[in-house]
Amino acid sequence: MILRARGARTGSGLVAASLWLWAGAAAAQEMPAVVIPPPAGGAYKAAVQRFADVGGGDVEKASRLRAGIQAGLEFSSLFVVLSPDAYLAGATSGRLDASPGVACPDWGQIGADALVDGELSARGSTVTIEWRAWDVARCQKLVRKRVTGAAGDLERLGKRIADEIVGAFTGKAGVSSTEIAFISDRSGKKEVWIADADGGNARQATRNQSINAFPNWGADGNTIVYTSYREAKTPYLFVLTRGAQSPGRIFRNVPGQIFRGVFDGAGGKLAIVVSRDGESDIYSISRTGSGLTRLTSGKALEVSPSFSPDGSEIAFVSDRTGSPQIYVMPASGGGNRRITFQGDYNTGAAWSPDGRWIAYETRAGGQFDIWLVDPSGETNVPLVTGPGNDEGASWSPDGRKVIFSSNRRGRRDLYVIDLDGSNLRPVTTGGGNNYSPDWGPYPRDLQ
């Protein structure tokens, strides 16, 4: 399964994370009925054993898998993985169905709240993993699953397991195995790139040697719409796809220049920014190109649409009062209301997955910071402030994190921060300038 643009080269670096054959019910169906409260300090301490070698596995593969699980748990900011040197019951898991069973007191004695054990076997280029996650305090098994995947994808398999462990403890899966799309000029041109949520496995998705901008994921995780100047040096919308869908330019029937497109939560409709006759307005249109409807009108600049999670409203930016501000309107248009009044330059609206917040960027003291405002406009709080310019916020699918672009270290890089303003960390380190991130959705079986 490849995400590709028409005319672009494909390669093994673009292999998607959907190399999974999961046995049993989806992760969401195995979440505990009662969420396990985090310990004092807010983070669960996890012991992750190296999985037992079963029928052709090896220590190197098991170590890579463990590293992926650890990276995924720690990316969540909800888990701290304990050093194997402290494990009283050993660094390597026993067979899952062997006797005696899990010695929970040994794990509780080193302060573990969670235990992850399992088995790994390899046959050629394929690995089979069976794993469990335990609530140590109750000595209760929360989940047991089996997964088959590619041996070359062990770290990513580990992240996927980690996301399910996060879900087993909190009721909401982690996001380390999701993907981000962004624009980077590291190849010399502004192309669309895709990477794992933590910045790993970065790969170039377009190679049209033009200016590309504003990638946005569809709800299925198989489609990205983006703006490109590749035809006649004029902005139009294009899609990258994986699977049976056809990539290339879309909405050829729309008159005017199309500067941006964003999907609604269901993926069947888009809000697009169209410039025509010197005006820039927001329209809605179906994915098939039918039902073009103008949502805004007037002489103002209307840009940056973002759908509410249920698709009933759209946040957007307008300078109708003389400076850019955030507004909200029904998805059918009309009846808009202004929700930002603090600051003289507010733009880049991005609605959170739970509907509680709209992230935006505001100019303050000669730089741009990222703030949060609730859809009513009553609560307005800073999330990221200086140094440098922080722009282009996008939400993780669990609503716990925000990714954005910043030039705080000179060039533009992507950063992730938790919703409470903690755990700021860089995501891109591969050179060039990186900006306009969009965080992709959960895989279907993690929703």
Q: What angle do CA 42, 45, 50 make, to 5 degrees?
A: 150
Sheet strand arrangement including 212-217: 212-217, 223-231, 234-241, 248-249
Same-domain status, 257 and 143: no
Neighbours of 246 (CB within 10 A): 8
Q: How high is the pLDDT of residue 387?
A: 87
* Structural domain contains residue 13: no
Q: How high is the pLDDT of residue 26?
A: 35
- What is the rounded CA–CA span in Å between residue 375 and residue 295? 19
Q: Of 120, 144, 170, which one is at a domain's C-terminal end?
A: 170
Domain span holding position 194: 179-446
Bridge-based pairing of strands 434-439 and 302-307 is unpaired
Q: How high is the pLDDT of residue 278?
A: 81
Same-domain status, 303 and 343: yes
Q: How high is the pLDDT of residue 7?
A: 37
pTM above 0.85? yes
Rounded average pLDDT per 10-residue block, the chain, 447 residues: 38 30 35 66 92 81 96 97 95 87 94 96 91 96 95 94 97 96 96 96 94 96 95 95 79 95 95 91 96 94 97 97 97 95 95 98 94 97 92 97 94 96 91 95 74
Sheet strand arrangement including 203-204: 203-204, 191-196, 179-184, 434-439
- What is the rounded CA–CA span in Å between residue 424 and residue 447? 25
Q: What is the DSSP letter of 201?
A: S
Same-domain status, 190 and 110: no
Q: Name, in order, each residue with C-beta under 8 angstroms of 345's C-beta and a sequence gap of 6 or more.
A: 323, 324, 362, 363
Q: Of 170, 203, 222, which one is at a domain's C-terminal end?
A: 170
Q: Of 120, 152, 170, which one is at a domain's C-terminal end?
A: 170
Q: How high is the pLDDT of residue 30?
A: 43
Same-domain status, 84 and 207: no
Q: How high is the pLDDT of residue 38?
A: 78
Q: Looking at the 3D structure of the chain, how many domains does it have?
A: 2
Q: How high is the pLDDT of residue 357?
A: 98
Same-domain status, 207 and 85: no
Q: How far apart are the first and last CA of the chain?
A: 20
Buried residues in 160-194 as b, exposed as e (16+ CB within 10 A): bbbbbbbbbbbebbbbbbbbbbbbbbbeebbbbbb
Same-domain status, 201 and 58: no
Same-domain status, 415 and 376: yes
Q: How high is the pLDDT of residue 34?
A: 53
* Structural domain contains residue 53: yes
* Structural domain contains residue 192: yes
- What is the rounded CA–CA span in Å between residue 316 and residue 328? 6
Same-domain status, 274 and 364: yes
